[in-house]
Structure 1
Amino acid sequence: VIKHYESNARFIAYERRFPTCHLIPMFVDSEVLEETESEDGSVHNVQRRCKLDVDAPRLLKRIAGVDYVYFSQENTLNKRERTLHIESHNETFSNRVIIHELCSYSAHPENEDWTCFEQSASLDIKSFFGFESTVEKIAMKQYASSIKKGKEIIEFYLNQLEEEGISHVPRWTPSLDAPSSSVTTKPVCATPKLLQLELPVTPMENQTGTPDDKLDADYIKRYLGDLTPLQESCLIRLRQWLQESHKGKIPKDEHILRFLRARDFNMEKAREILCQSLTWRKQHQVDYLLETWTSPQVLSDYYTGGWHHHDKEGRPLYILRLGQMDTKGLVRALGEESLLRHVLSINEEGLRRCEENTKVFGRPISCWTCLVDLEGLNMRHLWRPGVKALLRIIEVVEANYPETLGRLLILRAPRVFPVLWTLVSPFIDENTRKKFLIYAGNDYQGPGGLLDYIDKEVIPDFLGGECMCEVPEGGLVPKSLYRTAEELENEDISLWTETIYQSASVFKGAPHEVVLEIIDAASVITWDFDVCKGDVVFHLYHSKRAPQPPRKDPLVGQHSSITTPGGNNVQLIDKSWTLGLDYSMVESPLTCKEGESVQGSHVTRWPGFYILQWRFHTMPGSASTNLPRVDDVLASLQVSSHKCKVMYYTEVIGSEDFRGSMTSLESSHSGFSQLSHATSNHSQSSSMISR
C-alpha cells in the first residue's frame, strides 16, 4: 500500500526516475523510443530503452564482451481505470537469457484511496558461456534489490511533489466533447515491435543483499578482498563443483579461498585438499567442536596460550608463551590427541573471531596473528614425544586450516631455537614459513619490531607493555597428574573413534557390503557416505535370507574380510548367488565420483535383509576378471589405482518414528529423485539423495 495519490500523480512521480535516477546507481541512462496518447487523453503509453551497469564480476563482463546491459520498457497509464502498468524485457543477450518483468499500480478494490503495487518476473537462461548458475544468482540479486527499492523510490518522488506544493492531483474525468479513446502516436524514433513473450510469470522470492548472494563486487570487496579475474573464476568454479557434489554442505567462500590460496589457485590441487578436509571435519565432528569440547582443567591451568585483543590490521591476536610451557608434563598428563583437540578448538575459535572482526572493521579479515614468546625455552622442550606431538599438530593444522595464519611473531628466541626450528620447519608449508618473523633477545623492541604490528596499548605486560594479559603463566605439571601409557593410549583411541562414521576400502573385484536386518516392512533405511578416494558405484539390494558371515579361507588362513591400512573390506553376497533369484536390486545403481558426498533414504517394502554395497567403478571397456574373490583382492592390493575408500554411516528408522514424513518418501517405484534425469515428476521417489 502506497500513499493515497491519484494514478496520474503516481505516474508523474514514476516519470521522475528518468532519464537517470540517483537512487538507482546501476541505472545509467534511458531514451524515449515512442510515446502515444489516446485522443481522449485517458491512456498514455511510453516506450523506453534503458541502459544498466549490472553489478557483475569483472571476469563475467569480460567474457560476455559488454559493459552495459540494455532493457526495453513499456509504461502504460490508464487514467480511466486508474492503473499504471510497466512491462520490461532484456535486449542484451536475448538469445541466451530472457528476462520478463511486470509491475502494476492500481487502486485498492476495497479502499479507493489506497494504491496496490504488484511485481513479478520470469527468468529463462538458455546458455551463458558456462556461467548459467552465476548469471542466475546475479539476476536474482538485482531483482531482489529492485523490489526493495521500488516502493522507496515512488515514496521519495511523491514526497518531492509535496515539497513542491503539489499535494493533490484531481482524478481524470472525460471531457464532454472528447472523442472516443482511439490512440494517436507521437513517434520519437523508429522502434521494432515489442516481443510478445509466451513465458509464465512467477513471483520471485524477496531476497535481501546478503553475503549469500556471493558474486557481487561489493560482497567480494567487503568479505573476500581484492581478487583477480582468474582468482574470481577459480572461486566460482570450485564453489559450483561443491554445490553439485556436496549439496547442503558448502563451506563459506572465505574457507574455499583459503584452500585455493594454499595451492596458488590450482583448481585440482585445491579441490583435492578441500575435499579431504571436509571429510575429516565430518568424520570427527569438527564443526561442533566448540560446543562439544570441554578443555580439561590441567589445560586451563598449564597451557600457556590464549586470545588477546587484535593486531593493527584487525586480525585476532593469539599469544603462546611456549618457553613457559611444560610440554612433557602436558603430554604425560593428557596425551597427544587431547592436545591436538585443544589446538583444533583454538583454530575453530580463530575462524569465528575472524568473522566477527570482519563485521567490526568492515573489511575482509580471514586470518589471525600469533605471537610466540620463547623466553625460557631449553633442551627439555626437545623431549622426543613432545616434539612428535608438535609435529602431529602441525601436520593436522596445515592440512585443514591453510592460510589462516597471517603472521607469526617469534620473540626472545634463545640459542636452542635453531635446533627446534630444524626439526619442525620441514613440516611447515613454504608459504606459511614466509610469514614468520623471528626476533632474538630484545630486538623486538626496536625499529621494525613489535610496535609495527601491535598497538602499544595491547602489548602484554610480560613483554614490557602495560596491558594485563590473561594467558596462564604455566609452570611444571605435577607428576601426580601423569597418566600411564595404557591410559593415554585408551584416551587417544577414544577421542578419535567417537564418531558415527566408519571407513572402508573398496577394491576392484572386491566390493564393501553392509547388511541390515529389517523386521518392520515400513522402516526407513538412511545412509550418508563420502567418497574419499577413487570412484564407486552404490547399490542397495534385498534378500529374504541372511548373507553368510565372512568365511575363513583355507588358502590364506583368515576370513574373507580383508583389513587394510585404509579401512576394512567386507564381502557378504556369496558368489553363488544369482541376482533376481537369491537377491534383488531395490535402488538404481548410483555412480559416485571421488570427493562427492551422498545422503539418501529408502522406505522398505518387505522384511528381510537389505545390503548396501559400494563397488569399484570400472570404466566402460575395461577388461573384467574371473579370479576367485580373495585372489582378486590380493591382486588388487598390488595396484593402488584399483583401491577406493569410502566413509559411511547408516541407520534404520522405525515407521513409528518416521510416520510424519512417510508420505513424502512413499513411491510406486524406486529411483534417485534428485540425481536421476529419468525420475518422473508425477511421483515421489522412495529414495532422496543429495550430493
Structure 2
Amino acid sequence: MGAASDDAVKQLALLMDQVEAPLRRTFQNVHQGYPKETLLRFLKAREWNVSKAHKMLVDSLNWRIQNEIDTVLERPIVPVDLYRSIRDSQLVGLSGYTKEGLPVFAVGVGQSTYDKASVHYYVQSHIQINEYRDRVILPMLTEKFGRPVTTCVKVLDMTGLKLSALSQMKMLTSISTVDDLNYPEKTETYYVVNVPYIFSACWKVVKPLLQERTKKKVKVLHGCGRDELLKIMDYSSLPHFCRREGSGSSKHSSTDADDCYSLDHPFHKELYGHIEELASRKELIKMGSLHVSIPEPDPDDAKIVEVIQAEFQKIGEQNGSANGHKV
C-alpha cells in the first residue's frame, strides 16, 4: 500500500472518529477488530475519494441501524421447511477454502428460481449469509492464520441460464445493490463456469461498462472450470458442480450433504444452528420476514442492468424470428 493510500485511510479514520456513538457501535460489528481493512474496502469502492468513501460508509452504517442488521442473526427464518424451500431456490453455499485460506462460495445463478417465498425472505437469507461470513467465518480464519482474512472468492455456475431469468432481474438487482453499497470489495475473484451462449452474449456488451477494478476480478473459465480451480483450491473444496469435467450439470438434491446449496450441507446446518442458538437467548423471537429497505443502485449499476435487459430482449427476438414467430 502506497503513501497516498495510507494517507486516505488516515483521513477516513479521522472522519469516522467523529461520527455519533450508534454509528461507531455498528461500525465495530462491521470491522470485527480490523477497522483499517474495512476503511480500505470502502475507499477502493469509491476510487480512493475520501469524502465519497466516508459518505458511502456512513450511509451503510445508517442502513444497518435502520434495518436492524446487527441483530439479523437472531432472526431464524421459520418454519424450517420454509428455510429449506429458500435453500432449494436461492442456490448458494460454502464449498470449502482456497489454498490461501479464503472461503469459497458457490452460487447457482442459472438455476436459482427465487419462487418459493417473498423477496423479503430471500434478501434476509442473503444478508444472514453475509453477516455469518463476516462475523463468524472470517474472524475464525483470521485467528487461525494470524493475519486478517477479510474477503472470499465466488464460483458462479451459469448452468441453466435462460431468457426467463429476465423475470428475476429485480430480485438479483436488489441483492447485488445491498452487496455493492454495504459489503463492498468482499469478493477477491468471481470465477464463472458452465457458461451458455446467453451469458457470453451479455458479457460481451456488459464488460466494457465495468470499472477496470471489477473487470480484473471476473474470470470466465472453460467448461466446469475444474482444472483452473484446482490451481487455487483442493478437490475437496471444489463446488459439487465443478467436480466432473464435461458433466455440464449442477443438478442438486436437497438430501445430498455433498451439495453445498442444500440445507443438509454442514455449512447451512451450522449457519441455521447458529441463528437458532442466538434466537433462543432472546425472550421473544421476532417472527416473519425482515423487511429490509433496498438502497437505490448507483446510476452506473442501473445502466448495466438496462443493458442486460436489452440484450436479453434482443436474443429473445432473434430466437423468435429464427422460429418463425414473434416473442
Give the TM interval when normalised to the shorter protein. Answer: 0.5 to 0.7
- 1:641-660 → structure 2 map (5 Å cutoff): none
Deviations 1:436-469 (A, max 9, x none): 1112425x244xx11122222322443226x934
CA contact (8 A) 1:305 1:318 kept: yes
1:286 and 2:73 are equivalent in the alignment? no
After the TM superposition, which residues 202-241 of structure 1 pair with which residues of structure 2 at under 5 Å, given as runs? 227-241=1-15
Question: Of the candidates 458, 475, 482, which is equivalent to residue 237 of structure 2?
Answer: 458
The CA distance in 1 between the partners of 2:62 and 2:154, in whole Å, is 27
- TM-score after normalising by structure 2: 0.66
> Are residues 1:335 and 2:118 paired?
yes
Which residue of structure 1 aligns with residue 53 of structure 2? 270
In 1, the alpha carbon distance for the partners of 2:144 and 2:187 equals 19
Instruction: Choose which of 160, 172, 176 in structure 2 pairs with 1:376.
Output: 160
| Matched residue SS, 2:21 | coil
For 1:402 and 1:413, locate their aligned partners in 2 and report how far apart those are by CA, in whole Å.
Answer: 25
Q: How many equivalent pairs are there?
A: 244
Q: Which residue of 1 aligns with 2:277?
A: none
Higher relative contact order (CA 8 A, sep 6+): 2
The one-letter code sitting in structure 1 at the alignment partner of 2:164 is R
> Is the CA contact 2:124–2:292 (under 8 Å) kept in the aligned structure 1?
no
Any unmatched runs of 5+ in structure 2? 245-256, 264-287, 294-327
Q: C-alpha separation between the residues in 2 aligned to 1:293 and 1:282?
A: 19
Structure 2 counterparts to residues 102-181 of structure 1, below 5 A = none
Structure with more of its chain in strand, by fraction: 1
Distance 1:248 1:303, change over 3 A: closer
Equivalent position SS for 1:323: coil
- Change in 2 beyond 3 A, CA 1:261/1:290: same
SS of 1:377's equivalent? coil
Contact 1:303/1:472 (8 A) holds in 2? no
2:309 counterpart residue number: none
1:22-81: CA deviations, max 9, x gaps?
Answer: xxxxxxxxxxxxxxxxxxxxxxxxxxxxxxxxxxxxxxxxxxxxxxxxxxxxxxxxxxxx
Instruction: Quote how far apart the aligned CAs of 1:287 are.
Output: 1.6
The 8 Å contact of residues 155 and 191 in structure 2, kept in 1 or not, is answered as: yes
Match of 2:103 in 1: 316
Q: 1:288 to 1:431 in 2, by over 3 A?
A: farther
Q: Is the 8 A contact 2:104 2:155 kept in 1?
A: yes
Displacement after TM superposition at 1:230 (Å): 2.9
- What is the CA–CA distance in structure 2 between the aligned matches of 1:340 and 1:304, rounded to whole Å? 13
The whole-number CA distance in structure 2 between the counterparts of 1:347 and 1:426 is 28
CA distance in 2, matches of 1:430, 1:315: 23
Which of 151, 161, 176 matches 1:394?
A: 176
Residue of structure 2 aligned with 1:470, choices 260, 274, 281: 260
> Does the C-alpha gap of structure 1 residues 425 and 419 become closer, same or farther in structure 2, counting only changes over 3 Å?
same
Letter in 1 for 2:258: M
Contact 2:88 2:261 in 1 (8 A): no
Q: CA deviation at 1:248?
A: 5.6
State the alpha-carbon separation in 2 of the partners of residues 349 and 422 from structure 1: 34
Report whether the alignment pairs 1:303 with 2:81: no
One-letter code of the match for 1:356? M
Question: In structure 1, what is the Cα distance between the partners aligned to 2:109 and 2:58?
Answer: 33
CA–CA distance in structure 2, aligned partners of residues 410 and 417 of structure 1:
10
**Does residue 199 of structure 2 align to residue 407 of structure 1?**
no
Secondary structure at 2:197's aligned position in 1?
A: coil
1 or 2, which has the higher helix percentage?
2
* Identity score, percent: 27
Deviation at 1:322, TM superposition (A): 2.4
8 Å CA contact 1:403–1:432 kept in 2: the answer is no
8 Å contact 2:95–2:238 — kept in the other structure?
no
Contact 1:414–1:440 under 8 Å retained in 2: no
- The answer to whether residue 307 in structure 2 is matched with residue 495 in structure 1 is no
Question: Would the alpha carbon gap of residues 235 and 438 (structure 1) be closer, same or farther in structure 2, given more than 3 Å must change?
Answer: same
3-state SS of 2:101 partner: coil
Query: Closer, same or farther in 2 for the Cα pair 1:349/1:428, shift >3 Å?
Result: farther
Question: Secondary structure at the residue paired with 1:434?
Answer: helix
Segments of 5+ residues of structure 1 without an aligned counterpart are 1-226, 474-490, 498-691
Which AA in structure 1 matches 2:52?
K
- Look up the match of 1:363: 147
* Alpha-carbon distance, 1:337 to partner: 3.1
Find the aligned partners of 1:445 and 1:310 in 2 and give their Cα distance: 15
C-alpha contact 2:90 2:122 (8 A) present in aligned 1? no
- Verify the 8 A CA contact 2:104 2:237 in the aligned structure 1: no
**Structure 1 residue 233: Cα displacement:** 2.8
Asked if 2 retains the 8 angstrom alpha-carbon contact of 1:391 and 1:424, the reply is no
TM-score by length of 1: 0.33
- Native 8 Å contact 1:293 1:345 kept in 2: no
Distance of aligned partners of 1:460 and 1:401 in 2 relative to their CA distance in 1, 3 Å threshold:
closer
Task: Measure the CA separation in 1 of the matches of 2:161 and 2:91.
Answer: 13
How far off its partner does 1:435 sit? 0.5
Q: CA 1:248–1:237 in structure 2 vs 1: closer, same or farther (change >3 Å)?
A: farther
Counterpart residue identity of residue 468, structure 1: D
Q: Distance in 1 between matches of 2:169 and 2:17?
A: 40
